[in-house]
Structures are given as structure tokens and as C-alpha cells.
Chains A and B, each alone.
Chain A
Amino acid sequence: MPDYTTIIGLEVHVQLATHSKLFCGCSTRFGAEPNTQTCPVCLGLPGALPVMNAEAVRLAVMTGLALDCEIPAYTKWDRKQYFYPDLPKGYQISQYDLPLTQKGRLEIRDDKERFASKEVRITRAHLEEDAGKSSHDEAAGKGDSLIDLNRTGTPLLEIVSEPDLRNSLEARAYLDELKLLLTYLGVSDCNMQEGSLRVDANVNLHIETPAGKVATPIVEIKNLNSFRAVERALDYEAQRQFREWEETGKKLGEAPKTTRGWDDVAGKTKAQRSKEESADYRYFPDPDLAPVRTSPEQLAKARAELPPRPAELREQLTREHKLSPYDAGVLVNLGRPVLDYFFAVVAKCGDAKAACNWITQDIQRTLKYRDREFAELNLPAERLGELIALVAKGELPTARSREVFEAMIDSGDDAHSVMQQLGIGAVDESELIALCQELLAANPRVVDDVKNGKQQAIGALIGQAKKKNPNADPARIRELCLELIAKM
């Protein structure tokens, strides 16, 4: 079987986090009753005129800068014409030849190093309006489709990658990193269930044959409802294209670009209506909208206001806080609020590794167990910092720190009060020695066993020591007992 390489490019549509629509004041809130968030602009009524939402342009520029895109000084909007019931004007306002941002890049990496880190080129990210929603409801009208125009005119940023991805793992990593970036920038909530983030994939194969490299016709996959679906669809489609090439021998250019829909239940892509050629959309500049000119000063200001990107934050965590790349990745993936919490904990206790462990392990575990969101966590960062500091100073035995942690969350008290309530305190060394002497005197067999080389016999004493004094550090008890026996 000949070798082949899978060539993947992704188109991601994200809904920008504005309050109002792109060209009118209607709300963009999700979940409203159908057709209660429309106006003459949304409905495409004659004479209605669109006016650009400044915030949508600001968020789009911010995203472009974060993707290292060029932001051309001049951009305009075009009409993309096609007929569909969810598009009342008969055209979508989009951007054709002069997009708001272009030629960027996004680095992708894998924590488990299943692929080498690489840069994915971004072709462009342009601003456009969303269409309405059609649903087929038998009960509504004997086989009619129901059109809801609430979503019409919602601002979308279409982010198009170059075909730089080579397998479903890389595609997944690209989507994860892009979503993380957009979430950190606060430009979109990226909620796939509510349609705030949608993915289309363009895929074909480069097959090595004795006669040279052959490319298969490009297929666009739609209806990808989750990142997992993207991975599965790409894996399926690569194999399907290879089988098709074996059967038909069709190469790129010999068959038109086709669109296939992903069926998540069947685990297959299925052919859809043939895609219209780009020229068929008859793009032309929208005369209702003024172009946008961005000055170097405005760009410099936007660049200065750009919040730190996930990649920069990971770098900061490994360089300044000496965390491993893996830990830094896990922490950044938990989101900006958790990361800010981490910084606050470190400011209090000075121990980044301990803070990271508590936050990525104990806190995540307890949130999951209690079925709580991070925002509901009843443990201010200063208090966790204090807890870590108490362990570091030896005032709180490590063995009981988790108990204190849970009790702090239950009661809302600080570490000191919880330790008092539980009777936890550092045990004086002389107290420990006395305890060990008492145990050895009561257990002469253990002493004999140890003298005969069976050090593990000490284990029996540790349990007894914990019963007599719960604060006793097991490791120290073991050491002391061995020292005392050696002197006997």
C-alpha cells in the first residue's frame, strides 16, 4: 500500500462576545424565544441600513494581533450573494479580498510529545454576519421548515488556517490552542453547544506513487459538533479518500471540490449538495457600509492592551516559577481565573510547585467530588497559601494537611482555626522521643526483629504511634525508633 500524507486546513467560526449584533442594536443573547431579537436590519427590510459595531471590530483586531496577523490599514465589507431561507437579504455581509486581518500563525504542541511542536499558518481572520436558523418541525406546519432570525447578524470571526495540519492529533491541538487563546482574550465564550464556535475541515491526501506524488480532490467536512467529532471525521475521511482513490483514481482537478456532512452516530461522512464556485457568490463591495481605516497609532494601542497569551503564560510559568512544561500546560488549560488564583497563592507562600500541585490535583479532585465549579470554591487564595506555608514551616504535618484542607472548605475557616478545632499542631521532638521509647518498651519483639535485620517490623509501631498522637509524623517516628534501637 502506498504511503500518503493527510493535508488538513480548518475554518473556525467564532461568535464574538458583543452585547448587540454586528449591524444593529438587537441583542445577541442565546436562548431567547424565536424571532424576538430582530429588527428591520435583521429582517432585510427595504431601506434598513447596517451600521458597524465598534466593539466587534475591536475584538476582531485583538484576535488578529494575538494570532500574529498583519492588520492592513484598510478593510471593507462585501456582499456574498446566495439564496437560502435563513438569509432574508439574499446576501451575507462578509469580507472578500481585503480582510481585516491576514497572514498570522499559531504554534501547536503536544504535552505527551506525540508530534513535534509546529507553527500553523493563519491565512486570514475576517469579520462577517451570521445567518438565521432553520429547523424542521413536523408539528409546526406539515413538513414546513421553521425559520428563526434571532441569530441573523450576530458577529462572527472566520479564522482560516493554511493546510498545514497533517493528522487528527494536530487538528485537535490546533483547535484546543485556538479555543484557549480566544478564551484568554475574552473575545468569545467558544461554547460549541450554543453555536459560538463552529468548525469546518478541508482535507485531501498526497499519495506517494511510483509515478510521483498524487493529490486527491479536496473535501470540505461540515456538521462537526465537537472537537472529538473533528478528530473522528478526519480519521474516517482520510481512509475513505484513500479507498476512493484506489477505486476511481480521481485526482485533484479531475473532480470538483465536494462537501460532506459528518454523521456522528454512524461515524461516517456523507455527500452533500455540490459546493458553488466562489465566483458564483458574485461578491461585490457593500455600498451600505463604510470601509474601516486603522492607523498605526490605533494598532500600537491595541497591541499594548493585548492580554498575555497562553503560550506566553506557559513560558512565564516554566521560566519564572520553574514549573515543568507539563505542569505549566495543565495550569494554563484550567483557565485565567485559576491561573490568577495560582499567582495569588504563590504570592502568599512562595512555593510554585506546591501551589501547582494543590491547585491542579487536590482542588480539582475536591471540586469534582463536590460537583462544584471553580468559582464556587470556598477557599480564598491567601488561605491556601497560608496552608502551604504552614506545611513548609513544619507547623502542620504533611500527613494531616489534606484533612485540614477539606475542613477549611467545609467550614470556611482559616488554617489556624481548623488546626485548633482538630487539635492539630506540630509535635515537640522530646514528646516524640518519649512516645517512641514508650512504644519500644511495650514491644520487645519488634525491637528484637529490628536487631535481627527486619527493619520493616517498625511498621507495626507506626500505627500505634498514630493512635496515641495523630500529629506524629510517621517518617520521623520511624527514624527515631531506628535510632533508639541502634543505641540499645
Chain B
Amino acid sequence: MAVSRQDVEKAALLGRLLVSPDELEHLTAQVAEILAYVEQLGEVDTTSVEPMAHAVELVNVFREDKVAPSLPREAALANAPHHNEQGFLVPAVLGE
């Protein structure tokens, strides 16, 4: 699968990664190599194999619908760069 510079640029944007033009060159080559490596799996005949949706065999892991204590608010806000003791403060959310 061919990977273009634009593909990597878009992936970087979606992942909010700031990538310099030099890095972009470098990363495009690396991503292409990684995809080529994984693409080898395409050689395996999987016509009779059920698609796998999940890597673990485990199913139906549930908890009961019971309320447990939440964190004290001070603790919940402790790691926030900015807060006003009630909520997290972030730069104005626009566009709504």
C-alpha cells in the first residue's frame, strides 16, 4: 500500500502531532515500511477463518449496577493545569 506524504500529514493532524517537513519525509518512509511488513499477512489464505474482532478470547465480563464512591473533587481536579475548585478550566470552546 502506497503511503503519501499527505496521508502522514493528515494522520499527524488528527493525532495533534506537530511534525516538521524533515520529520514528515522520514516518517512517510517509516510508515510505508511498517505497512509493507504488516501487508505480508495478506498472503495467508483466510477464506475459511471467521473474522476476529478482538484479540482476547474472553467474553461477557460485567459488573453489577452498583454505585461506588467517587473521588473527592479536590482529588479529581488535582492534576488539572487550571481549575477553579469546581471544574476544569480550558481555553474557550468555540464553534458550537
The answer to whether A24 and B68 touch across the interface, beta carbons within 8 angstroms, is yes
Interface of B (DSSP majority class): loop
B 51-92 binary contact with A (CB < 8 Å = 1; else 0): 001111011111111111111010011010010101111111
Within 8 Å of chain B (Cβ to Cβ): is A247? Answer: no
B96 within 8 A of A: yes
A238 to B91, CA, bound (A): 36
B62 touches A85 (CB 8 A): no
Contact in complex: A74, B53 (CB < 8 Å): yes
Asked whether, in the complex, the Cβ of A146 is within 8 Å of the Cβ of B70, the reply is no
Check B73 against A36 for contact (C-beta < 8 Å). Answer: yes
B77 near A35: Cβ-Cβ < 8 Å: yes
Q: Tell me the smallest distance from the CB of A420 to a CB of chain B, in Å.
A: 52
Is A76 interfacial (CB 8 A cutoff)?
Answer: yes
- The CA of A86 and the CA of B58, in the complex, are separated in Å by 31
A234 to B96, CA, bound (A): 19
Chain B positions within 8 Å of A223 at CB level: 96
| CA gap between A52 and B61 in the complex, in Å | 7
- Collect the chain B residues with CB atoms within 8 Å of residue A147's CB: 87-90
Residues of the B chain whose Cβ atoms lie less than 8 Å from the Cβ of A84? 93
Would B60 and A290 count as touching, CB distance under 8 A?
Answer: yes
**How far, in whole Å, are A99 and B63 apart by their CA atoms in the complex?**
20
A386 at the binding interface (Cβ < 8 Å) = no
Q: Is the CB of A35 within 8 A of B76?
A: yes
Known: A25-B63, A34-B73, A272-B96. 11 other contacts (CB 8 A): A35-B76, A38-B71, A53-B62, A56-B65, A141-B84, A141-B89, A145-B92, A146-B89, A290-B54, A290-B56, A293-B59
A interface residues with partner B (beta carbon < 8 Å) = 18-20, 24-27, 33-40, 43, 45, 51-57, 74, 76, 81, 83-86, 98, 134, 136, 140-141, 143-149, 223, 261, 272-273, 280, 282, 285, 287, 289-293
- List residues of B whose CB falls within 8 A of some A CB: 14, 16, 53-56, 58-71, 73, 76-77, 79, 82, 84, 86-93, 95-96
